[in-house]
Chains A and B, each alone.
Chain A
């Protein structure tokens, strides 16, 4: 158990809908990352937050957004969902987001868009 928690574990929704994925980092970690794992794209970095502020942005679609709250938990919002958004979404955390730090991953949220 990495100490990173994600809810829900599974999510089934329809095209055009909006969902929110939640992540709680390890105790003491200030930086949160979001990744998408899909069969065709593999594991891709979406976005990183550090202490409430966006730090880095990867291949995140404009329909997707995220934020990190004062208690350091993070939410990833996916809107206008398409079939291709079906994937496993991982959250990871590290202490300060430094390049040498290990990122610890949560168990993921499996999203299925029908």
Chain B
């Protein structure tokens, strides 16, 4: 069965610090997709990234970067030089090829960035 674990319930950092959000997943499929979503205080869910299981290249988008390691079943998310606007709940999610397109979410990590 598929499972996503975000062990960090809450993280607090000071502006300009780098922060890494951890995500560990479990799956029996060889084909699967991993996602990160951001939920700011306003409540909407914002898609950040999608990664398929055959692409282990790290990705960088501005201050955001993602590290995908199949050997440790992890898909970690790093924010460089954090800003107050990064304060949000961040969800990691998994979709298995054999499970249709359904997402299984982790419990989320609350990130608080203080000025």
A binds B: no
